[in-house]
Amino acid sequence: MQTNSKDTICVHAGEQTNQFKSINTPIYASTAFGYLDTEERLYPRYFNVPNQQALIDKLSMLEGSESGLIFSSGMAAISTAIYGLFNKGDHIVFQKGLYGGIINFILHDLERFGIDYTILENNFTESFLNAIFPHTKAIYIETPTNPLLSIVDMAVISEICRKKNLTSIIDNTFASPVNQTPIKFGIDVVIHSATKYLGGHSDITAGVILSNKQLIAKISKTALNMGGSLDSFTCYLLERSIKTLTVRVEKQNTNAQKIAESLSEHPSISKVFYPGLPSHANHDIAHRQMSGYGGIVSFELKNQNADTFMRSLTLIKPALSLGGVESTICDPSTTSHRHLTIEQKAKEGISDNLLRLSVGIEDVNDLISDLYNALKTNK
């Protein structure tokens, strides 16, 4: 298929022909495939059955990668990528402000398996450069970050990695392929928690690694042993969901921008975090590398209780996870970053009155009214 349109890619990439000429990819509800008279050895744990391949073909075209792997969760993708690419004695540089799950993984598992690391105190270019040692093998970034929506310059990171012969890895979950394609900026490995925007309906759990054939082949050896593959039915659901990805994300982008602007003017809000606001510290970088600013708006309440505020909402649902068509909200202090100590939360800028709003596709005026009514209730 020859097209650069993400709308068309979402709908048609990865289509597989079959004897019945069905429009949708059939669900191959089998873990056993014949192998005589063929070189193929199909098996779900080998990441090569038809539903897995159809999905990876679609995602690879969306992100501009050569190949990929689909996993049972985002953390399965992250951990497999790291264990597949790096060895005991290697060193990885991690940016400041990563998702709480990856921080927990770094602090509790990397050192135990002999992989050295540095988590930066800030994301200045000099800090990345100063953290590189002879045994450094990679730089791992996430942009926008969860939940404070910090922005890291992908072009700068990829240039550093190219000059230092390092592997660049990005968690692209918050942006989705609709809002940014890191491989075009020179990033080597792109990871998604497909549970979020790729799935988009709060009903599946999955993860994705996308890269060139050489790195995917290397990761595949570890992936096969760790066994984090995804079943065919969930692959089918995820492929179906991605058909509406651009429609959903573009609506979420528009809604989130309006909500961020509105909350910025409310006297009960002390701070709003959104890269689409000119007041954002790295708005210029976001404007340069993103085609849309995403559907997440984080904000801090001014002298108000987060739990009481969330209980006052009627349309927006307090819930874990994000990226669905319905708007949800949570306090990162007790959810995504709950495993961190009080000191670690403070270091990451996670306060008790911080809220992360995942904006859905509802009418934006209804969402703003719901937020404002809850703020009035809390006065």
Residue among 45, 243, 251, 271 flagged as catalytic: 45
Whether residue 184 lies in the annotated active site:
no
Q: Over the chain, what HEC string results?
A: CCCCCHHHHHHHCCCCCCCCCCCCCCCCCCCCCCCCCCCCCCCHHHCCCHHHHHHHHHHHHHHCCCEEEEECCHHHHHHHHHHHHCCCCCEEEECCCCCHHHHHHHHHHHHHHCCEEEECCCCCHHHHHHCCCCCEEEEEEECCCCCCCCCCCHHHHHHHHHHHCCEEEEECCCCHHHHCCHHHHCCCEEEEECCCCCCCCCCCCCEEEEECHHHHHHHHHHHHHHCCECCHHHHHHHHHHHCCHHHHHHHHHHHHHHHHHHHHCCCCEEEEECCCCCCCCCHHHHHHHCCCCCCEEEEEECCCCHHHHHHHCCCCEECCCCCCCCCEEECHHHCCCCCCCHHHHHHHCCCCCEEEEECCCCCHHHHHHHHHHHHHHCC
Catalytic, out of 96, 137, 196, 345: 196
Catalytic residue among 28, 137, 153, 171: 171
Q: Which of 28, 99, 117, 140 is catalytic?
A: 99
Q: Is 338 a catalytic residue?
A: no
Active site annotation includes 366: no
Residue 258 annotated in active site: no
Q: Which residues are catalytic?
A: 45, 99, 171, 196
